[in-house]
Structure 1
């Protein structure tokens, strides 16, 4: 499902973290104390509801996270990240990011949003997306539209996006086969 958010129509009010969680945000490099946890959370994308596909996410390790960050920096990409941290453990349990490419002035495309399976259903995906979106709209007043793509099997994330103001603009069917 391809969805688009028109910033002027976004529902980005303050979403407080549920009890036991806090939000952290950064631009660029992941803080060292969260690096291993960010890699583990990114790996949870494999557990997100999805239709069968030939596309595979990388195996996320701290080294892969750092390599992706270095590649983004080298390309002039400003990586915005918001995470939910479980207070009791200090671990990242939800994450979302938006890569802002040098030419992204009025439009951009959302990166990844992932919530660890044990923490799904608490509103953490919507919360981290709303926090990141609020920062984007404050820092980038020229931003008009944000696009995102979500597997049609992931109805929970589609609802999160809709609650933030995203509207479905297109449904895409991807077909693959072995040769």
Structure 2
């Protein structure tokens, strides 16, 4: 009989065997969610797990397959120390295909509920991947609410319309606006303005039915996140637009990639202040970043981004540029006590060949 032992994982001080097992599990899940991406390396996982920001509360559990060096499942909870959303806790439960429908999800959910109660968090939030139907099925059994639907999109760089890129870059009044790039860390002299841009972008993005309040990252929190990203080995370009007359920032976007996976570039954080919208600045930012990737990152094959289905303005720009839907991500929410009631009511199933403790 296969036995699964569930225990807490110390991110910063795990054993080498635990980091290796975590990498194997992550890659087994990744094959389902992102089948065309290269596998993660142990060194990447180890660096990520050891360098979460200090402002982030995070706790994780794993299910060891006894007498093996593998994990069958992983559960994690996290939240930041912001003052605006002290009611919410985020969680993720992952189980490899061979061990699904054996009760491991419920075991991990119990850990999540216990942690949420301990921290006084009344709302639990997670996401599921459209390529993994088991996640959505689990959320439906739990009675969770579909709160936000997101579309993942991919731009194949070989198919980019360069005439469009040129038109979008030449269609803005560059006597009034200037576009530039920051490579790597944000400059100290602009960190306050960057925090303002980041908060505007995050809080103006659609949340649909997601029960979260506007939140405001401080420059110190941005630096913490930046340190985590760059410490992992990832590289970042941030494109920005400034009003030449006033010096005010009008908008920005950023692209990131990892040297171990140079074929895929991620893009996020695209935003233009409301007072500067309707001038083609969003298209300029998008076109400028794609143009630079094509010129300076020849190993890159695609750019990926994600937007809420309700974010019509950004989806329109991405579609015009050539992005195509490649996946869907659903964000779910459920009250902590509703999840606890589900666990209490769920009958314990005797699953042949599997024993957990």
What TM-score, normalized by structure 2, do the two folds share?
0.47
Unaligned runs of 5+ in 2: 1-150, 337-357
Residue number in structure 1 paired with 2:318: 161
Residue number in structure 1 paired with 2:293: 136
Structure with more strand by fraction: 2
For the 8 Å contact 2:200–2:271, the answer to whether it is kept is yes
Residue number in structure 2 paired with 1:9: 159
Change (3 A) 1:29 1:56: farther
Change (3 A) 1:140 1:25: same
For 1:72 and 1:48, the matched residues in 2 are separated by: 22
2:331 pairs, out of 152, 174, 179, with 174
Change (3 A) 1:59 1:102: farther
**Bigger shift: 105-114 or 151-160?**
105-114
1:60 pairs, out of 217, 225, 229, with 217
Return structure 1 stretches of 4+ with deviation > 4 angstroms: 54-58
**CA deviation after TM superposition for structure 1 residue 144, in Å:** 0.8
Matched ranges for 1:37-48 at <5 A: 37-45=193-201, 46-48=203-205
Residues 59-108 of structure 1 show CA distances to partners (whole Å, capped at 9, x for unaligned) of 22222222222222211111111011122221222110011123222112
For the 8 Å contact 1:44–1:117, the answer to whether it is kept is no
Structure with more helix by fraction: 2
Residues 97-153 of structure 1 show CA distances to partners (whole Å, capped at 9, x for unaligned) of 011123222112212211112222222111112111111111111111111110111
Change (3 A) 1:128 1:52: same
How many residue pairs are counted as aligned between the two chains?
Answer: 179
Residue number in structure 2 paired with 1:102: 259
Q: Does residue 22 in structure 1 map to residue 178 in structure 2?
A: yes
Change (3 A) 1:132 1:177: same
1:148 pairs, out of 296, 302, 305, with 305
Q: Does residue 120 in structure 1 map to residue 277 in structure 2?
A: yes
Change (3 A) 1:111 1:104: farther
1:75 pairs, out of 232, 256, 262, with 232
**Bigger shift: 74-83 or 167-176?**
167-176
Residue number in structure 2 paired with 1:34: 190
Change (3 A) 1:58 1:76: farther
Whose RCO is larger (CA < 8 A, sep 6+)?
1
What TM-score, normalized by structure 1, do the two folds share?
0.89
